[in-house]
Amino acid sequence: MQRLKLVGTLPASLGVEIPANSEPRTGLSMGEHAAVTAKQMGIKRVDQDELAAASHRNMADAYDRGFFDDLVSPFLGLYRDDNLRPNSSVEKLATLRPVFGVKAGDATMTAGNSTPLTDGASVALLASEQWAEAHSLAPLAYLVDAETAAVDYVNGNDGLLMAPTYAVPRLLARNGLSLQDFDFYEIHEAFASVVLAHLAAWESEEYCKRRLGLDAALGSIDRSKLNVNGSSLAAGHPFAATGGRILAQTAKQLAEKKAAKKGGGPLRGLISICAAGGQGVAAILEA
């Protein structure tokens, strides 16, 4: 008890700083910002829960078949992300109360369909083909191109996490591709509502014409190709680690499918990641 009292005498500068994701310009958390977008775009609670359950199910299956064996390094007895809930279901998720957008009413975002902040680190090796050959390393995939975007989420009409909706069409146009020309789609699951908002935006002719300046909607994707081995809702979201995880995960998925395919044209993966400050990045991987 005396030791606890001594802790209270320590200066604040020596205290533990808890990570926060509030935007300095608005004071709102990412979750509250995402809740505003979810309400504006009519994203349904059940659809969010279905996406979350699928993420846990897909990642659990991937671990069970050994997909992550050479991607995850065991640490202090942990060999898989402890955020993962293999038995998660839409029915179980439906019992959770909303935690974001509650004051506005009709809240749909819960702890189950929102990604928790977790601890972790990631690394992905990016090198030239010549360097890889010199070091006897076979490339899993090639980073073809990338695009960044940012939105004015304070004074403009765009939500904090909607910048990827702008980055992706610019990336596609530059490479002469359509949204449907991919074997895998890896969209960062910051919140289930955000993934669904991005997909809804690309499917909306009005959004694509008015916001993105396109002639028509980008269209729908094959949902069976989306986050096939689970993503952030199941793995959690360690600050500064999610990008590397998604990049490495996509590269391995492409390499595995190419090995099974044995010939034919290139295989492609589309990566789309939202970030704080109204930023977004998209990339194309090919194998």
pLDDT in tens, 180-192: 999 999 999 999 9
pLDDT at 240 over 90: no
Cα separation, 272 vs 182, whole angstroms: 13
Cα separation, 284 vs 270, whole angstroms: 5
Query: Per DSSP, what are the bridge partners of residue 98?
Result: 110
Q: What is the pLDDT of residues 118-155, one digit of tens each?
A: 888 999 999 999 999 999 999 999 999 999 999 999 99
Write down the domain spans for the chain. 30-286
The DSSP code sequence of 6-66 is HHTTS-GGGS------B-TTT--BHHHHHHHHHHHTT--HHHHHHHHHHHHHHHHHHHHTT
- Select from 281, 252, 279 the least CA-distant residue to 269: 252
Question: What pTM does this model have?
Answer: 0.92
Q: Please tell us whether the domain made up of 30-286 is placed in CATH 3.40.47.10.
A: yes
Q: What is the pLDDT of residues 32-70, one digit of tens each?
A: 999 999 999 999 999 999 999 999 999 999 999 999 999
Predicted confidence at residue 32, as pLDDT, reads: 97
Q: What are phi and psi of 3, to 5 degrees?
A: -65, -40
